[in-house]
Chain A
Amino acid sequence: MRRLLFKSLVQGPLTEAAPAADDAAVAQLAAQVTAEARKRLGRTLAIREVDAGSCNGCELEIHALSNVLYDLERFGLRFVASPRHADVLLVTGPVTANMRQALERTYAATPGPKWVVAVGDCARNGGIFAGSPACVGGVGKVLPVDLHIPGCPPDPTALLKGLLALLESSAGRSQA
């Protein structure tokens, strides 16, 4: 263990440079984030992740955001355990019939101002599971969606770009 700790002293940081916020996402968000919300949130967002029927692929990449190479928290973005502490719901999956109610309740438990980010192709319109009688077919069918991050699954860089865009618009920096 000492060896491991000592190495960290002589090694540079592993965390990589931040990607630029996704322009398309910034444009999509600019209109939705009010000045009032910006004032209240400053440059930090608490995120509650909700799996609404995903294959777990999207969760794996969302997880990766917290590894040392991406280190999501350095941007003021952090995952919280309860919707009551959250500004953002990060929702994955085609919304199964069996998860619909839990998703609605999670949204209801999240205090405003709040945003919903739909992650992955299934969260847009059911993706590969579209048309299944067991799926509602996309987060937008159940909640108002502010931003969609495409991909199956989106890789951590794509996720980071989308979330940074959200952060920038909530902090009023996309107007500059």
Chain B
Amino acid sequence: MDWPHTIVDREAWHQAAERLRSTEWSLLGLWGEPGVAHMAVMQAGQCALLSLACEENRFPSIGRLHAPAIRLERAMRDLYGLEAEGSPDARPWLRHESPYPFLPVEGESLHQIPVGPVHAGIIEPGHFRFTANGETIVRLEQRLGYVHKGIESLMAGASLEGAAKLACRVSGDSSVAFALAFAQAVESALGVEVPARAVWLRALAAELERLANHFGDIGAVCNDAAFALLHAHFGLLREHVLRAAGACFGHRLMMDGVIPGGLQRDLPADGERVLLELLALARKRFPELVEVYDDTASLKDRTVDAGILSPVLAQQFAAGGYVGRASGRKFDARRTPGYAPYDQLQFEIPVVQAGDVNARVWIRIQEVGQSLGILEQILRQLPSGPVCEPVARHAGEGLALVEGFRGDVLAWVRIGDDGRVERCHLRDPSWFQWPLLEAAIEGNIVADFPLCNKSFNCSYSGHDL
């Protein structure tokens, strides 16, 4: 995909912040490298990249005018020493070397509950500091960065093959989405034409990943509302998807299947049969489970009206995925800016306004139906031919935006003359969703936090890099 890349001065950078504040533009990403700040924005359905040389490692803060940028700027300082001038929050974010000053809390009858980084369940680590008045949450403050692995520093200098493997492991639940975003960015940088069959099979893998996560998470939300029956049934469906994925792509989470240029390998001989069986099973079982979800008052009692995210905030933060679509933001990278083969596939983008836990579950239920339809269309139209095109080794720069199950994943890569990665930035959708969880939980009871948290299901690893 060709995106305009403009080298801007401080004035134009500042104007961009104004446009973001007025929601004329939406922020897709903000990141750094030594001495340079980069910003990706979406303007009227088009993506654009702006870069600013940072004299003395300083740049005008975007976060000062547009809050969604604040954590990104804190990360830029931690990783590259870039100072956001005028930033409202200059605390470190991904680096944890010094004691962390949490926000001060003032008021009567308030108490604090610190949770994590090690949680009670089998989930990723992060710290949540609740300020509560009795049972009611007055404020949640998140502290993340515990699983910061230094992925960008490992990317710098990596071979394309090595970098593709790393991309799969930015957030293990979205390995296809990240590998695809990375591959598309590389292909755009090097002008690679991916064979048609690979394009279609990549979409197939991406939809399987979406299905597996939606099944698992819908069940997990039900479990957090003490409805274990649905958790067991959805867990079974998820397992069937993972087994089919393992049979078709040689890895249950489909890691290392998508590579720059195409795919590591073609489907095995019985691949299509395995997938058709999976689809038949899901078509049969899924509606029964949805009916139970819909007809169970004790479940609805927990999910309706819990953790409401307002459409205004979803819009301001350009929240992707079901978090945005459950709060009225109709955005899906498969459509806008869009990429092949989705331009040749029929599917709807479900959207509702309610913004509560139930809405987020409901969007995911609808998306399962859409993904099943997409998979059936792919299997009917799958072109034949090779699945990989050799990738030339030369310098280039590319960007890509891909719809993962959680929302839009942004990838930017610059390749050097030696054909190795010079710099790469992968932006998980969670960057713009985590802060919204802080807002959505306000006024809810502490006991509803796990449920609300699960309904967002933000990535820690994807965010912490």
CB nearest to A58 among chain B residues: B172
> Binary interface profile of B, 430-465, with partner A (CB < 8 Å = 1, else 0)?
000000000000000000000000000001110000
Is the C-beta of A108 less than 8 angstroms from some C-beta in chain B?
A: no
B429 CB → nearest A CB, Å: 14
- Indicate if the CB atoms of A51 and B125 lie closer than 8 Å: yes
A81 CB → nearest B CB, Å: 4
Q: Which of B153, B175, B291 contacts A133 (CB 8 A)?
A: B153
B243 CB → nearest A CB, Å: 9
Q: Interface residue count for B (Cβ, 8 Å)?
A: 48
Chain A residue numbers with a CB within 8 Å of B238 are: 64, 67
Is the C-beta of A135 less than 8 angstroms from some C-beta in chain B?
A: yes
CB nearest to A50 among chain B residues: B118
- Indicate if the CB atoms of B150 and A134 lie closer than 8 Å: yes
Instruction: Spot the interface stretch: B16-24, B50-58, B162-170, B382-390.
Output: B162-170
- Indicate if the CB atoms of B149 and A129 lie closer than 8 Å: yes
Chain B residue numbers with a CB within 8 Å of A24 are: none
CB nearest to B460 among chain A residues: A56
What CA separation (Å) do A134 and B173 show in the bound complex?
A: 22
The residue among B96, B216, B238, B295 with the most chain A CB atoms within 10 A of its own CB is: B96
- Indicate if the CB atoms of B172 and A54 lie closer than 8 Å: yes
Is the C-beta of A169 less than 8 angstroms from some C-beta in chain B?
A: no
Is the C-beta of A49 less than 8 angstroms from some C-beta in chain B?
A: yes
What CA separation (Å) do A163 and B6 show in the bound complex?
A: 55
Q: Which of A56, A133, A134 contacts B124 (CB 8 A)?
A: A56
Is the C-beta of A53 less than 8 angstroms from some C-beta in chain B?
A: yes
- Indicate if the CB atoms of B148 and A134 lie closer than 8 Å: yes
- Indicate if the CB atoms of A64 and B242 lie closer than 8 Å: yes
- Indicate if the CB atoms of B166 and A128 lie closer than 8 Å: yes
Chain A residue numbers with a CB within 8 Å of B151 are: 129, 132
Chain B residue numbers with a CB within 8 Å of A49 are: 122
Given contacts A55-B172, A56-B171, A56-B172, contact A131 B154 (CB under 8 A): yes
Q: Could you show 28 A-B contacts with beta carbons less than 8 Å apart?
A: A1-B291, A1-B296, A3-B288, A4-B289, A53-B149, A54-B124, A54-B147, A55-B149, A55-B461, A57-B253, A58-B172, A59-B122, A61-B252, A61-B253, A63-B122, A64-B239, A64-B242, A67-B235, A69-B236, A69-B239, A82-B120, A98-B146, A99-B146, A102-B117, A129-B169, A132-B149, A132-B153, A152-B169
Chain A residues in contact with chain B, CB under 8 A?
Answer: 1, 3-4, 14, 49-64, 66-69, 79, 81-83, 93-94, 96-99, 102, 106, 128-129, 131-135, 152-153, 155
Chain B residues in contact with chain A, CB under 8 A?
Answer: 96, 117-118, 120-125, 145-151, 153-154, 165-166, 169-173, 175, 216, 229, 232-233, 235-236, 238-239, 242, 246, 252-253, 255, 288-289, 291-292, 295-296, 459-461
